[in-house]
Amino acid sequence: MQQFHTKDIHKLSFLVTGGAGFIGSHIVEYLLKQGAGKVRVLDNLATGLQSNIDLFKDNPAFEFMNGDIRDAAVCRQACEGIDYVSHQAALGSVPRSIADPITSNDVNVGGFVNMLTAAKDAGVKTFVYASSSSVYGDDPELPKREVKTGNPLSPYAVTKKANELYADVFSKLYGMKLCGFRYFNVFGPRQDPNGPYAAVIPLFVSGILNNTAVYINGDGEQTRDFTFVDNAVQANIRGMLAENDTAFGEVYNVAVGENFSVNFLYTAIRDLLGKEHQATYREARAGDVRNSLADISKAKSLLGYEPTQRFAQGLEETVSFFRAMHA
């Protein structure tokens, strides 16, 4: 992965909440490889993986706190002595939030406010956080621009919209330096293929490799702006270490600015694996948006964000990772 910052980070301390998760662990990996002074992870391992933490356990700059962001005291402890926070901890998944809106709200909204408050009280320099493209809801306009959102289609989308509203208020009331990132279908190595709420790409790869059923929701012609994880890492690093004050108090689309259908994705994965596996089509999923495509000009102009990996390159790297894991 290329370097996304110019600032010397050898004496700086970072907290990554949800750092045992998919995106969080990639942010941790980047910071440690670049020689950060301290990288602390706060994670309760509810959806994060111990195997992701084990990758870093021998690095003297790495610290792990097993704790829950729903506990305000834990959040305060995690923020002690920290310069920068990347808040990735959340309960993801639209279907999970539809099945259990209370827990999604407790973690994603209550936990977020706990973290914002702890970071404010600790005097953290910059706080960046994961929002989601789900906040665009039923607005049909493409490409998606940050200034215009529709009505949320799921409890998960409501929680991410609430995060953005809280961040805006904390930015204005307390002068906190905050950036939010609306992720568009982030994928890559270490994305968990297991469990009822696994993401589409690891599910497809796993099903084809194991010759088990692969399901496509609806007709498969719904489109997504699939975003390789290195691009999400870049946004977080650029946001945390931004030097121009105009970058703060904003939310940004984090994507590539290209979209592909789920059917195209499935065929591409099958071709990379050299398999003839057939997918099974089933009913469209409640709460899903039909088409998704990001305008990334705001992140480019204010953060210097520029995607380093496009769909085909990222998919090849991801499929290679899962194939090696399967071997």
Which residues are known catalytic residues?
156
The set of long-range contacts for 28-33, using a CB threshold of 8 Å and a minimum separation of 24, is 28/56, 28/62, 29/55, 29/56, 30/1, 30/4, 30/233, 30/237, 31/237, 32/56, 32/59, 32/61, 32/62, 33/1
The 8-class DSSP code of residue 294 comes to: B
Q: Are 292 and 224 in contact (CB under 8 A)?
A: yes
CA dihedral in degrees (135, 190, 308, 27; nearest 10)? 80
Q: Are 307 and 314 in contact (CB under 8 A)?
A: no
Per 3-state DSSP, the chain is made up of helix, strand and coil in percentages (nearest 5) of 40, 15, 40
Q: Which structure tokens are listed for 106?
A: 């407790």
Q: In angstroms, what CA-CA distances link 260 with 100, 176, 227, 256, 299? A: 30, 37, 11, 11, 21
Q: Which structure tokens are listed for 7?
A: 């600032």
175's torsion region: left (phi>0), alpha (psi -120 to 50) or beta?
A: left
281: Cβ–Cβ under 8 A, 6 or more apart, which residues? 215, 216, 218, 219, 220
Rounded CA separation 321/143 (Å):
31
Instruction: State the amino acid at position 217 in one-letter form.
Output: N
